[in-house]
Structure 1
Amino acid sequence: MRLIQCLHEDRLTVAQVMSDAEVRVIAAEEGVYGLARQAIASGRSLASVVEAAATDSRLDYAQIVEERRLLPPLTHPDPAHCLVTGTGLTHLGSADTRSAMHSADKVDESELTDSMRMFRMGVEAGKPKAGEVGPQPEWFYKGDGDCVVAPEVEIPSPAFAQDAGEEPELAGLYVIGDDGSPWRVGYAIGNEFSDHVTERFNYLWLAHSKLRACSFGPELFVGELPAHLEGTSRIVREGRTLWEKPFLTGEANMAHSLANLEHHHFKYRNFRRPGDVHVHFFGTATLSFADKIVVEPGDRYEIDLPALGRPLRNALASESDFGYSAARAL
């Protein structure tokens, strides 16, 4: 099952994707968030709650996209209660990354970079048996719900940014139950969007490089996720493909299991606040930045992961300079 959220008659509307051309309206007072809360409270699956709320109303999917009425497929009524985070060094990556890993096996532990050491920990023990815990991954914070940009809408890059690079990823979407238990609502295509020049200068600036906008969707995938997922990431400039590359994701292509990544996020009490929404990016292995591509305002990111529905598309925009930001004494 795949769901979208959109604006219809100036209201937040949930719809089930029936085909590339048509979606079916689902009756929901608080969007997918409300449906998920209802499923948690009633002990039913989200799919059964959606089916029970289905209506006979159909909408033109292409028209929704064309009029830029798509919304992120999971939102919280209060954006401050949506936390956006992610993990890195989680994917087995390209042949070059694997080659570097093989070479790393031949050197002394003391000669490994911190990144390669963490990557190797994941490769060796990141998929523990059920009920066991593997090593914790790299983790980062992106912001709250205000940093999320809807599909088909421009992603803003700060005036001080040195790079505006896409990161094609799988994102997990969650709602926290009243007892503090995390519930996975589903998955979506994600563009985690980072400043790779800043990160490359010094890895301790990773936190700064991640405090950017992001996008996910347009569709929410509900159900059992395939272990092997194949997608394509591309940059389009003035109607022509500037850069394109395939990417792999899903557990079969990751150093960590999703369960291990989820455990190390939700083990913290402050990430189990009842009613909160979490958007968690699971990492990438393919970047245009690695091929020396410099994205410019007006260029469009396209991330296509067919198993999760319609591609995620966003153009790049630049923010105005807010000026010097030091606080003043009252």
Structure 2
Amino acid sequence: MRLIQCEHRGRVHAARVESDRVVRLLDADTYTLARRALTAGQSLAAAVEAALTDTRLDYPQLIEEKRLLPPLTHPDPAHCLITGTGLTHLGSADTRDTMHAKAQVDDAALTDSMRMFKLGVEGGKPVPGETGAQPEWFYKGDGSCVVAPEAAIPVPHFAEDAGEEPELAGLYVIDDDGQPWRVGYALGNEFSDHVTERFNYLWLAHSKLRACSFGPELLVGELPTHLEGTSRVVRDNETVWEKPFLTGEANMAHSLANLEHHHFKYPNFRRPGDVHVHFFGTATLSFADGIQTRDGDRFEISLPEFGRPLRNPLRFESVSRVTVVKAL
């Protein structure tokens, strides 16, 4: 089952994807449906079935009219936390390593990236019930940094780079007892400033404080262990870069359960009622192939299992100003 969210007659509604042209409206948004399911002790799929209406909408028209929304949102963006993990995919460490260090010839001289990657390979998939190696972790912002599918991703005036990061995202709701529940998965563009990160790895935190996007569709149910997608950069309606990418647990150094444990082990990430969007890491970057994005470029990320591709153009901000703090 795949869901979207859209604006319909001034309200946010979830809708079930019937085909690539038709969605069937539900009587509430995804967050409300998840809360209903938790209260009733039922699955989200059951809650969706009970919430179906007779209204069907034209999917391409929703896209054309820019009425698509992220597939899970919180009524208060401050209660939606956007985070992620890196160096989780087999092969991703090579890309990261070339960004900020030369190749090392002996184990003692491994970069921090390669050392972190090895920890994942050696201990990122523990047996159920045991704790594995903790991954790299970062914070992106709250729900206000999320850009809807088809909407423009803003590039701040101080940014050194504007690069896509195609990956999976886990979407979660915390129940009233502080228990995290996975609502489903979405295709994501985590989006980062790779030049800032390359200058000094300690600027990773700065490089991640950018906008992001995920969707347009939410996959409810089991995630295939092997997924093959395509990431591309389109400029003036021509593809200037395209590359396949692999994801899913079969192509990762960490299990999803291990990544989830190391995020939700912190009590402040189990606050009742909150929504979490957690990016699971990437293995493919146009930046690694020397692509420099421009204003108006469009990212397109696709995985067949997730329906329609995630598409976002870039909008470079030109205003440069110093933020001044005033004393009370």
Task: Give the TM-score range, shorter chain.
Answer: over 0.9
Paired residue type of 2:91: G
Structure 1 residues 269 and 98: alpha-carbon distance in aligned structure 2, compared to 1, 3 A threshold: closer
- SS of corresponding position for 2:213: strand
The correspondence for 1:278, drawn from 268, 276, 279, is 276
Give the corresponding residue for 1:217: 215
Per-residue CA deviations over 1:97-151 (Å, capped at 9, x if unaligned) read 6999xxx89723x211111001000001100000111010000000000000000
Determine what percentage of the aligned residue pairs are the same residue: 75
C-alpha distance in structure 2 between counterparts of 1:319 and 1:245, whole Å: 27
TM-superposed CA distance for 1:310, in Å, is 0.7
Preserved CA contact (<8 Å) 1:92 1:98: no
Give the corresponding residue for 2:305: 307
Residues 56-135 of structure 1 mapped to structure 2, 5 A cutoff: 56-93=54-91, 107-108=106-107, 110-135=108-133
Structure 1 residues 74 and 198: alpha-carbon distance in aligned structure 2, compared to 1, 3 A threshold: same
C-alpha distance in structure 2 between counterparts of 1:165 and 1:320, whole Å: 18
- SS of corresponding position for 1:188: strand
TM-superposed CA distance for 1:321, in Å, is 2.5
TM-superposed CA distance for 1:14, in Å, is 1.1
TM-superposed CA distance for 1:11, in Å, is 1.4
C-alpha distance in structure 2 between counterparts of 1:98 and 1:141, whole Å: 18
C-alpha distance in structure 2 between counterparts of 1:94 and 1:141, whole Å: 19
Give the corresponding residue for 1:18: 18
C-alpha distance in structure 2 between counterparts of 1:137 and 1:151, whole Å: 28
The TM-score normalised by the length of structure 2 is: 0.96
C-alpha distance in structure 2 between counterparts of 1:47 and 1:164, whole Å: 37
Runs (4+) of structure 1 exceeding 3 A deviation are 94-100
Paired residue type of 2:179: S
Residues 1-330 of structure 1 mapped to structure 2, 5 A cutoff: 1-28=1-28, 31-93=29-91, 107-108=106-107, 110-321=108-319, 323-330=321-328
Unaligned runs of 5+ residues in structure 2 are none
Per-residue CA deviations over 1:133-185 (Å, capped at 9, x if unaligned) read 10100000000000000000000010000000000010000000000000000
The TM-score normalised by the length of structure 1 is: 0.95
TM-superposed CA distance for 1:43, in Å, is 1.1
C-alpha distance in structure 2 between counterparts of 1:106 and 1:161, whole Å: 33
Once structures 1 and 2 are overlaid, which stretch shifts more, 82-91 or 37-46? 37-46
Structure 1 residues 248 and 19: alpha-carbon distance in aligned structure 2, compared to 1, 3 A threshold: same
Per-residue CA deviations over 1:262-303 (Å, capped at 9, x if unaligned) read 000000010000000000000001000000000001000000
Aligned length: 325
C-alpha distance in structure 1 between counterparts of 2:95 and 2:161, whole Å: 22
Structure 1 residues 267 and 43: alpha-carbon distance in aligned structure 2, compared to 1, 3 A threshold: same
Preserved CA contact (<8 Å) 1:160 1:321: no
Preserved CA contact (<8 Å) 2:93 2:114: no
TM-superposed CA distance for 1:3, in Å, is 0.3
TM-superposed CA distance for 1:327, in Å, is 1.1
C-alpha distance in structure 1 between counterparts of 2:49 and 2:6, whole Å: 18
TM-superposed CA distance for 1:319, in Å, is 2.2
C-alpha distance in structure 2 between counterparts of 1:238 and 1:140, whole Å: 33
Per-residue CA deviations over 1:206-264 (Å, capped at 9, x if unaligned) read 00000000000000000000000000000000000010000000000000000000000
C-alpha distance in structure 2 between counterparts of 1:231 and 1:93, whole Å: 15
Unaligned runs of 5+ residues in structure 1 are none
Paired residue type of 2:248: G
Paired residue type of 1:17: V
Structure 1 residues 95 and 261: alpha-carbon distance in aligned structure 2, compared to 1, 3 A threshold: closer
